[in-house]
Amino acid sequence: MARRRQLYEGKAKILFEGPEPGTLVQYFKDDATAFNAQKRGTITGKGVLNNRISEYLMQRLGEIGIPTHFIRRLNMREQLVREVEIIPLEVVVRNVAAGSLATRLGIQEGTRLPRSIIEYYYKNDALQDPMVSEEHITAFGWASTHDLDDIVQLTLRVNDFLSGLFLGVGITLVDFKLEFGRLWENDEMRIVLADEISPDNCRLWDAKTGEKMDKDRFRRDLGKVEEGYQEVARRLGILPEAGIRDLKGPEVMQ
Protein backbone atom coordinates (compact mmCIF):
# COMPACT_ATOMS: atom_id res chain seq x y z
CA MET A 1 0.00 0.00 0.00
CA ALA A 2 1.28 3.48 -0.85
CA ARG A 3 2.66 5.25 2.21
CA ARG A 4 0.47 8.09 3.37
CA ARG A 5 1.63 11.62 3.99
CA GLN A 6 2.38 12.22 7.66
CA LEU A 7 0.72 15.34 9.06
CA TYR A 8 1.64 15.23 12.74
CA GLU A 9 3.48 13.07 15.23
CA GLY A 10 2.21 13.36 18.79
CA LYS A 11 3.19 11.58 21.97
CA ALA A 12 0.98 8.53 21.47
CA LYS A 13 -0.20 8.67 17.87
CA ILE A 14 0.78 9.71 14.36
CA LEU A 15 -1.72 11.40 12.05
CA PHE A 16 -1.60 10.63 8.32
CA GLU A 17 -3.60 12.08 5.48
CA GLY A 18 -6.65 9.88 4.90
CA PRO A 19 -7.72 8.28 1.60
CA GLU A 20 -10.56 10.79 1.06
CA PRO A 21 -10.63 14.53 1.73
CA GLY A 22 -11.73 15.30 5.27
CA THR A 23 -10.39 12.04 6.65
CA LEU A 24 -7.29 11.18 8.65
CA VAL A 25 -5.57 7.98 9.66
CA GLN A 26 -4.63 7.72 13.34
CA TYR A 27 -1.68 5.37 13.91
CA PHE A 28 -1.38 4.19 17.54
CA LYS A 29 2.21 3.93 18.84
CA ASP A 30 3.55 1.97 21.81
CA ASP A 31 5.26 5.14 23.10
CA ALA A 32 4.14 6.28 26.51
CA THR A 33 4.75 9.58 28.24
CA ALA A 34 3.71 10.91 31.63
CA PHE A 35 4.06 14.08 33.68
CA ASN A 36 3.99 16.27 30.57
CA ALA A 37 6.50 14.06 28.74
CA GLN A 38 9.16 14.25 31.47
CA LYS A 39 8.83 10.47 31.79
CA ARG A 40 9.04 8.44 28.58
CA GLY A 41 8.87 4.76 27.83
CA THR A 42 7.34 2.04 25.73
CA ILE A 43 4.42 -0.19 26.58
CA THR A 44 4.62 -3.19 24.25
CA GLY A 45 1.37 -3.73 22.40
CA LYS A 46 -0.27 -0.59 23.81
CA GLY A 47 -0.95 0.86 20.36
CA VAL A 48 -2.77 -2.26 19.21
CA LEU A 49 -4.87 -2.41 22.38
CA ASN A 50 -5.69 1.32 22.44
CA ASN A 51 -6.68 1.25 18.75
CA ARG A 52 -9.08 -1.60 19.48
CA ILE A 53 -10.39 -0.26 22.82
CA SER A 54 -10.96 3.22 21.39
CA GLU A 55 -12.74 1.73 18.36
CA TYR A 56 -15.01 -0.28 20.64
CA LEU A 57 -15.88 2.61 22.97
CA MET A 58 -16.42 5.13 20.14
CA GLN A 59 -18.71 2.65 18.37
CA ARG A 60 -20.76 2.01 21.50
CA LEU A 61 -21.02 5.78 22.08
CA GLY A 62 -22.05 6.28 18.44
CA GLU A 63 -24.85 3.78 18.97
CA ILE A 64 -26.38 5.92 21.73
CA GLY A 65 -26.21 9.02 19.54
CA ILE A 66 -22.92 10.62 20.60
CA PRO A 67 -21.33 12.09 17.46
CA THR A 68 -17.71 10.93 17.12
CA HIS A 69 -14.90 11.27 14.59
CA PHE A 70 -14.55 7.48 14.29
CA ILE A 71 -15.20 5.93 10.86
CA ARG A 72 -13.58 2.49 10.95
CA ARG A 73 -10.54 0.58 12.06
CA LEU A 74 -8.15 -0.16 9.20
CA ASN A 75 -5.75 -2.62 10.82
CA MET A 76 -4.13 -3.50 14.16
CA ARG A 77 -2.65 -0.02 14.69
CA GLU A 78 -4.60 2.34 12.44
CA GLN A 79 -8.08 3.76 12.33
CA LEU A 80 -9.80 6.06 9.86
CA VAL A 81 -11.40 9.15 11.40
CA ARG A 82 -13.04 12.34 10.24
CA GLU A 83 -10.69 15.29 10.32
CA VAL A 84 -11.94 17.91 12.76
CA GLU A 85 -10.73 21.26 14.04
CA ILE A 86 -9.58 20.25 17.48
CA ILE A 87 -10.80 22.47 20.31
CA PRO A 88 -7.60 23.01 22.31
CA LEU A 89 -9.02 21.67 25.57
CA GLU A 90 -8.58 18.52 27.58
CA VAL A 91 -11.97 17.93 29.12
CA VAL A 92 -11.52 15.85 32.27
CA VAL A 93 -14.37 14.17 34.15
CA ARG A 94 -13.83 12.86 37.65
CA ASN A 95 -16.05 10.46 39.57
CA VAL A 96 -13.56 9.40 42.26
CA ALA A 97 -10.67 11.46 43.67
CA ALA A 98 -7.28 10.51 42.17
CA GLY A 99 -4.15 12.03 40.70
CA SER A 100 -3.85 15.81 40.66
CA LEU A 101 -7.27 16.40 42.24
CA ALA A 102 -6.35 14.27 45.25
CA THR A 103 -2.97 16.01 45.55
CA ARG A 104 -4.10 19.60 45.00
CA LEU A 105 -7.14 19.49 47.26
CA GLY A 106 -5.84 17.03 49.84
CA ILE A 107 -8.57 14.46 49.23
CA GLN A 108 -7.72 10.82 49.89
CA GLU A 109 -7.29 8.97 46.60
CA GLY A 110 -10.28 6.66 46.10
CA THR A 111 -12.85 8.95 47.73
CA ARG A 112 -16.08 8.93 45.70
CA LEU A 113 -16.85 12.56 44.76
CA PRO A 114 -20.21 14.09 45.78
CA ARG A 115 -20.97 14.44 42.08
CA SER A 116 -19.11 14.15 38.80
CA ILE A 117 -16.76 17.08 38.29
CA ILE A 118 -15.68 18.46 34.90
CA GLU A 119 -12.35 20.25 34.61
CA TYR A 120 -10.74 21.95 31.61
CA TYR A 121 -7.06 22.07 30.72
CA TYR A 122 -5.64 24.20 27.92
CA LYS A 123 -4.00 21.78 25.44
CA ASN A 124 -0.53 23.27 25.18
CA ASP A 125 2.55 21.13 25.75
CA ALA A 126 4.88 24.12 26.16
CA LEU A 127 2.70 25.40 29.02
CA GLN A 128 2.22 21.88 30.42
CA ASP A 129 -1.55 21.87 29.81
CA PRO A 130 -2.57 24.38 32.52
CA MET A 131 -5.98 24.14 34.16
CA VAL A 132 -8.36 26.84 32.93
CA SER A 133 -11.91 27.97 33.69
CA GLU A 134 -14.87 28.64 31.38
CA GLU A 135 -13.97 32.31 31.69
CA HIS A 136 -10.54 31.73 30.14
CA ILE A 137 -11.98 29.48 27.44
CA THR A 138 -14.59 31.98 26.25
CA ALA A 139 -12.46 35.11 26.79
CA PHE A 140 -9.61 33.73 24.68
CA GLY A 141 -12.00 32.31 22.10
CA TRP A 142 -10.94 28.65 22.37
CA ALA A 143 -14.66 27.77 22.48
CA SER A 144 -17.89 29.75 22.69
CA THR A 145 -20.42 29.41 25.54
CA HIS A 146 -22.59 27.54 23.05
CA ASP A 147 -19.74 25.14 22.20
CA LEU A 148 -19.15 24.62 25.92
CA ASP A 149 -22.84 23.85 26.50
CA ASP A 150 -22.60 21.12 23.85
CA ILE A 151 -19.31 19.85 25.28
CA VAL A 152 -20.74 19.59 28.82
CA GLN A 153 -23.90 17.81 27.63
CA LEU A 154 -21.89 15.32 25.57
CA THR A 155 -19.30 14.81 28.32
CA LEU A 156 -21.94 13.99 30.95
CA ARG A 157 -23.64 11.51 28.61
CA VAL A 158 -20.30 9.89 27.82
CA ASN A 159 -19.54 9.66 31.54
CA ASP A 160 -22.89 8.07 32.44
CA PHE A 161 -22.69 5.60 29.60
CA LEU A 162 -19.05 4.60 30.07
CA SER A 163 -19.41 4.39 33.88
CA GLY A 164 -22.17 1.82 33.37
CA LEU A 165 -20.38 -0.01 30.58
CA PHE A 166 -17.21 -0.41 32.66
CA LEU A 167 -19.06 -1.28 35.86
CA GLY A 168 -20.74 -4.09 33.93
CA VAL A 169 -17.32 -5.68 33.45
CA GLY A 170 -16.18 -5.03 37.01
CA ILE A 171 -14.26 -1.80 36.42
CA THR A 172 -14.71 1.57 38.16
CA LEU A 173 -14.34 4.53 35.79
CA VAL A 174 -12.46 6.86 38.15
CA ASP A 175 -11.76 9.69 35.71
CA PHE A 176 -10.95 10.29 32.05
CA LYS A 177 -9.99 12.90 29.47
CA LEU A 178 -11.88 13.74 26.28
CA GLU A 179 -11.06 15.93 23.29
CA PHE A 180 -13.66 17.48 21.03
CA GLY A 181 -13.48 19.01 17.58
CA ARG A 182 -15.58 21.03 15.17
CA LEU A 183 -16.94 19.25 12.12
CA TRP A 184 -18.54 21.23 9.30
CA GLU A 185 -21.17 19.64 7.09
CA ASN A 186 -22.34 22.11 4.46
CA ASP A 187 -22.77 25.28 6.53
CA GLU A 188 -23.55 23.52 9.78
CA MET A 189 -21.00 23.03 12.54
CA ARG A 190 -21.24 20.14 14.97
CA ILE A 191 -19.10 19.39 17.99
CA VAL A 192 -17.92 15.78 17.87
CA LEU A 193 -15.89 13.55 20.16
CA ALA A 194 -12.36 13.11 18.76
CA ASP A 195 -8.93 11.70 19.69
CA GLU A 196 -9.13 8.41 21.63
CA ILE A 197 -10.65 6.81 24.71
CA SER A 198 -8.26 4.23 26.15
CA PRO A 199 -6.39 3.27 29.33
CA ASP A 200 -3.91 6.04 28.34
CA ASN A 201 -6.47 8.67 29.26
CA CYS A 202 -8.85 6.92 31.66
CA ARG A 203 -8.27 5.78 35.24
CA LEU A 204 -9.76 2.29 35.44
CA TRP A 205 -9.75 0.38 38.73
CA ASP A 206 -10.95 -3.12 39.43
CA ALA A 207 -14.32 -2.54 41.10
CA LYS A 208 -13.64 -5.10 43.85
CA THR A 209 -9.92 -4.86 44.59
CA GLY A 210 -9.16 -1.31 43.40
CA GLU A 211 -6.28 -2.63 41.29
CA LYS A 212 -5.22 -0.13 38.64
CA MET A 213 -5.53 -1.14 34.96
CA ASP A 214 -4.45 2.10 33.29
CA LYS A 215 -1.49 4.38 32.60
CA ASP A 216 -0.94 4.95 36.34
CA ARG A 217 0.82 1.54 36.30
CA PHE A 218 3.41 3.22 34.02
CA ARG A 219 3.36 6.65 35.74
CA ARG A 220 3.89 5.14 39.18
CA ASP A 221 6.14 2.20 38.20
CA LEU A 222 3.64 -0.35 39.47
CA GLY A 223 4.77 -3.01 36.97
CA LYS A 224 2.54 -5.24 34.82
CA VAL A 225 1.65 -2.25 32.62
CA GLU A 226 0.94 -4.31 29.48
CA GLU A 227 -1.15 -6.70 31.55
CA GLY A 228 -3.31 -3.83 32.83
CA TYR A 229 -4.20 -2.66 29.30
CA GLN A 230 -4.75 -6.25 28.20
CA GLU A 231 -7.08 -6.95 31.10
CA VAL A 232 -9.28 -3.98 30.13
CA ALA A 233 -9.55 -5.33 26.56
CA ARG A 234 -10.16 -8.86 27.84
CA ARG A 235 -13.01 -7.76 30.11
CA LEU A 236 -14.58 -5.76 27.28
CA GLY A 237 -14.44 -8.96 25.23
CA ILE A 238 -12.26 -7.44 22.52
CA LEU A 239 -8.74 -8.85 22.88
CA PRO A 240 -7.42 -8.64 19.27
CA GLU A 241 -6.34 -12.30 19.45
CA ALA A 242 -10.04 -13.19 19.37
CA GLY A 243 -10.06 -12.09 15.72
CA ILE A 244 -12.03 -9.30 14.14
CA ARG A 245 -14.84 -11.52 12.91
CA ASP A 246 -15.06 -13.42 16.14
CA LEU A 247 -15.81 -10.65 18.61
CA LYS A 248 -17.48 -11.49 21.84
CA GLY A 249 -19.64 -9.06 23.74
CA PRO A 250 -18.63 -7.76 27.16
CA GLU A 251 -18.14 -10.35 29.86
CA VAL A 252 -20.80 -9.69 32.47
CA MET A 253 -19.49 -9.81 36.04
CA GLN A 254 -21.53 -11.51 38.75
Of residues 21 and 249, the one with the C-beta less far from ligand ADP: 21
Does the footprint of ligand ADP cover residue 136 (CB under 6 A)?
no
Measure the CA–CA gap between 10 and 30, rounded to whole angstroms. Answer: 12
Q: Return the residue of 49, 61, 81, 171 that touches ligand ADP, per CB under 6 A.
A: 81
Three-state DSSP at 228 gives helix
Of residues 148 and 169, the one with the C-beta less far from ligand ADP: 148
CB of 37 to ligand ADP, least distance (A): 8
Measure the CA–CA gap between 29 and 51, rounded to whole angstroms. Answer: 9
Q: State which of positions 21-40 bind ligand ADP (CB under 6 A).
A: 24
Alpha helices in 24-144 (DSSP H): 46-63, 99-105, 134-139
| Phi–psi pair at 14, nearest 5 degrees | -120, 140
| Phi–psi pair at 61, nearest 5 degrees | -65, -40
Of residues 84 and 225, the one with the C-beta less far from ligand ADP: 84
Burial of residue 191 (CB within 10 Å: 0-12, 13-18, 19+) is: buried
CB of 11 to ligand ADP, least distance (A): 3
Does the footprint of ligand ADP cover residue 62 (CB under 6 A)?
no
Q: State which of positions 159-188 bind ligand ADP (CB under 6 A).
A: 179, 181
Residue with the shortest CB distance to ligand ADP? 10
